[in-house]
């Protein structure tokens, strides 16, 4: 009776498959990325909240994005860090914790599937570095064919809509730059758009790889790498792309540092 209850409520999380020699470098890299992302996003959100001149719709949206990025990366990085030094047979997670992690990942990081369904399950191994909707579907003892079709259809729809909207936006920006005679404005737009486009392409490709390779277990290692890159890229680079490249935010940060240095000298 005790074993049945234990197996029904505890899952085995595969985590990151790293060797003993590479576990420390992997831990340090993930930890540095996590600390940088949290400090950058939280600092940007605090600056926008404290500075009245930045209380404008564009910066409020940026503040919300920074807060969302900090939450999205927190849904899986701390757990991945704690599992790196554990043996693969000891990476246990309760079903409730797994469902919460998948829900938060879907809500803040917008993972591949669009809904979270808690179903009856007869498997206990989560073949992923962290819990997501697709991993929960694989635990089900029922047929998930409809969920797979719906997930692929809606994901394809989101990808197409995203590509179209980004393409239209860049066409509009290009038209404005062609008509404008300001070299500084065109240079700033080109720099920002190129960086944003690079991040977008990385997210698009890794997101597509995750959804695609979930159907092919033999390529699970490639999927795990993509599943780690996908939620890391945007939260890490968004503060740099949208924060430091904003002239107003750069001025506020510069004035804050200068006043801090002056106070220390006095």
Domain ranges of the chain: 2-265
Q: State the pTM of this model.
A: 0.72
What pLDDT is stored for residue 8 in this prediction? Answer: 54
The one-digit pLDDT tens for each residue of the chain (266 residues) are 444 444 557 888 877 777 778 888 889 999 999 999 999 999 889 888 888 888 887 788 788 888 888 888 888 888 888 888 888 778 888 888 888 888 787 776 554 444 445 555 666 787 777 887 777 777 777 666 676 677 677 777 877 887 888 888 888 888 877 787 777 777 777 776 777 777 777 777 777 777 777 667 777 777 777 777 777 887 888 888 777 667 778 788 778 777 777 777 76
DSSP assignments along 68-93, one per residue? HHHHHHHTTHHHHHHHHTS-GGG-EE
d(CA 33, CA 25): 12
List CB contacts of 173: < 8 A, sequence separation 6 or more.
189, 193
Name the residue with tokens 């809606």.
Answer: 154
Helix H or strand E encompassing 60? helix 57-74
Using the 8-state DSSP alphabet, how is residue 114 labeled?
Answer: S
Q: What is the predicted pLDDT for the residue at 83?
A: 85
pLDDT number for residue 38:
93
User: In the structure encoding, which two tokens stand for residue 143, read together?
Assistant: 């047929």
pLDDT value for 266: 63
Strands (E), 173-253: none
For 229, other C-beta atoms within 10 Å of its C-beta total 16
Q: What is the pLDDT of residue 167?
A: 83
Integer Cα distance of 105 and 126 in angstroms: 15
**169 closest CA partner among 142, 197, 132, 209:** 197
2-265 CATH:
1.20.1070.10
Mapping DSSP to helix (H, G, I), strand (E, B) and coil, where does residue 123 land?
coil
Q: What pLDDT was estimated at residue 42?
A: 92
Please measure the distance between the N-terminal and C-terminal CA atoms of the chain and give it in whole angstroms. 70
The pLDDT assigned to 170 comes to: 81
Residue 28: what pLDDT?
Answer: 92
Res 4: pLDDT:
42
What pLDDT score does 7 carry?
A: 52
Write the CB contacts of 230 (distance below 8 Å, at least 6 apart in sequence).
109, 203, 206, 207, 210
């Amino acid at each position: 009776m005790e074993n049945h209850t234990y197996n029904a409520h505890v899952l085995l999380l595969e985590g990151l498959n790293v060797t003993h020699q590479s576990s420390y470098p992997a831990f340090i890299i993930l930890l540095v990325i996590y600390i940088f992302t949290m400090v950058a996003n939280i600092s940007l959100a605090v600056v926008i909240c404290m500075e009245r001149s930045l209380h404008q719709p564009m910066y409020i949206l940026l503040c919300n994005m920074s807060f969302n990025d900090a939450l999205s990366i927190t849904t899986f990085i701390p757990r991945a860090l704690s599992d790196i030094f554990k043996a693969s047979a000891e990476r246990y997670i309760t079903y409730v914790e797994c469902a919460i992690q998948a829900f938060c990942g879907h809500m803040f990081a917008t993972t591949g599937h669009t809904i979270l369904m808690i179903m009856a399950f007869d498997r206990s191994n989560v073949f992923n570095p962290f819990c997501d909707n697709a991993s929960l579907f694989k635990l089900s003892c029922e047929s998930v064919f409809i969920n797979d079709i719906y997930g692929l259809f809606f994901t394809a729809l989101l990808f197409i809509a995203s590509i179209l909207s980004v393409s239209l936006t860049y066409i509009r920006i290009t038209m404005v730059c062609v008509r404008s005679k300001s070299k500084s404005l065109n240079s700033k737009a080109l720099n920002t758009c190129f960086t944003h486009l690079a991040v977008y392409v990385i997210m698009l490709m890794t997101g597509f790889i995750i959804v695609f390779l979930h159907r092919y277990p033999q390529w699970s290692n490639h999927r795990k790498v993509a599943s780690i890159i996908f939620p890391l890229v945007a939260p890490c680079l968004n503060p740099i792309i949208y924060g430091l490249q904003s002239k107003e935010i750069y001025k506020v940060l510069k004035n804050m540092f200068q006043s801090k240095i002056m106070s220390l000298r006095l």
